[in-house]
Amino acid sequence: MKKLIIINGPNLNLLGKREPNIYGSLTFTEFLEEVKTKYKNVDLDYYQSNIEGELIDKLHEVGFEFDGIILNAAAYTHTSVGIGDAIKAIETPVIEVHISNTFGREEFRHQSFVSPNAKGVILGFGLQSYELAIQSFLN
Ligand code: DQA
- Ligand 1 pocket: which of 50, 80, 100 to mutate (most atoms <8 Å of CB)? 100
What number of H helices and E strands is found in the chain?
5, 5
User: Would you say 46 and 34 are in contact if contact means Cβ atoms under 8 Å apart?
Assistant: no
Q: What per-residue confidence (pLDDT) applies to 18?
A: 86
Report whether residue 11 contacts ligand 1, using a CB cutoff of 6 Å.
yes
Which pTM value belongs to this model? 0.97
CATH architecture of residue range(s) 2-138: 3-Layer(aba) Sandwich (3.40)
DSSP conformational letter for 29: H
Take atom 13 of ligand 1 and give the residue whose Cα is closest. 74
Residue numbers of the chain with a pLDDT score lower than 70 = none
Q: What per-residue confidence (pLDDT) applies to 23?
A: 84
Chain Cα centroid distance, residue 122: 10
Q: What per-residue confidence (pLDDT) applies to 125?
A: 97
Tens-place pLDDT, residues 47-71: 999 999 999 999 999 999 999 999 9
Angstrom distance (rounded) from CA 123 to CA 127: 9
Phi-psi region of 19 (alpha: psi -120 to 50; beta: other; left: phi over 0): left
Q: What per-residue confidence (pLDDT) applies to 24?
A: 86
User: Would you say 11 and 18 are in contact if contact means Cβ atoms under 8 Å apart?
Assistant: yes
Report whether residue 99 contacts ligand 1, using a CB cutoff of 6 Å.
yes
Angstrom distance (rounded) from CA 32 to CA 131: 10
